[in-house]
Amino acid sequence: MFRSSPRIIRHPPLLQPRVTIPRRSAHIPSAFLLDNYIPRYQLLTDAQISRKKDQAIEHLRKCNICPRMCNVNRLAGETGYCMVGEKVKVSTIAPHFGEEPCIQGTYGSGSVFFSGCSLRCSFCQNHEISHQRAGFDLSPEELADWFVKLQNLGNVHNINAVTPEHVVPQVALAILAAIPMGLRIPIVYNTSSYDSPEALSLMDGLVDIYLADFKLSSSVSSKRLLKADDYPETAKESIKIMHKQVGDLKFNFDGIAQTGLLVRHLVMPTYIEEGKEIMRYLAENVSKDTYVNVMEQYRPTAHVGKANRGKSGGTRYSEINRPVTDPEVDAVKLAAREAGLWRFVEDSPHEGFR
């Protein structure tokens, strides 16, 4: 009887346990990654700290920290265009999820919302804070204490000063006061870019991340919508100064921004060509590696759509009295790519406060 040969079963060699390496959700080129980042204010010498304190007090004595150049003495109780004196006025202090994902991270940004503003944006998305100046007063020392309290929650990734352009000396004094109190996380300067060179010079060495708006590119539209015809030129120079100080946006290995510039542009109906011009300016005059957020959440608010005063009738700012459309947003994004920009903010999964 024919008997088949026994089948030889070969067992594969024993394999080493597979090690799973977690992948970052943000694909960040190595040139924009940092290891063990130290906030800039922690590198200041005692002499530099003393000099900045003196400079901040001098700015309060003769205020020139925004392009309005009111030159009022805040220490003597005088107020200028922003209507804010020696103390800052704050509306909200809390962990916040309303910023870009790389700023807010998993746990939020420790945000301080300052009341008042150097601009009068007709479409202001936070007009209750900026225009009506709701909130409570804090001294720089009290503000420093809040910075440390936010940090000590244990989860926030940074201290986010929201619309601080008109209170730069107080914010600088607060950061300097918070250093010996144990402050050790990055500082975000969240600005309209309507800043004076003097203000940005004072913040040099104190700010790690500039989160800068670039709203409009023509003096005509800026005068109409922002009540500041010098806004475009001011924003251009301010953003160049910011970039010179901190460079392009860089991250830790968790994808959280640590230092650098991020520019935001809110796309509005009718003003699409200005958005395109802003993208070209950033690529040609700042850096093609500029991290950009082309925002599409514009909605009519504040003074937009209100009835015109007088006998003419109709509505105010009628050209922006509607939401922006997808094709309008896409047109600005396309212009950004055509100009050579390539680093764009992804949509955030969160918004609001924790």
Q: Could you please report the per-residue DSSP string of 305-339?
A: TPBPSSSS-SBTTGGG-SPPPHHHHHHHHHHHHHH
124 annotated among ligand-binding-site residues: yes
How far apart are the C-alpha atoms of 30 and 265, rounded to whole Å?
26
121 annotated among ligand-binding-site residues: yes
* Tally of CB atoms within 10 A around 293: 23
CB 282 within 8 A of CB 263: yes
Q: What number of residues does the chain have?
A: 354
How far apart are the C-alpha atoms of 28 and 20, rounded to whole Å?
20
63 annotated among ligand-binding-site residues: no
Q: Is 69 helix (H, G, I), strand (E, B) or coil?
A: coil
- Where is the binding site, in residues? 117, 121, 124
Going by the annotation, the residues of the binding site for [4Fe-4S] cluster are 117, 121, 124
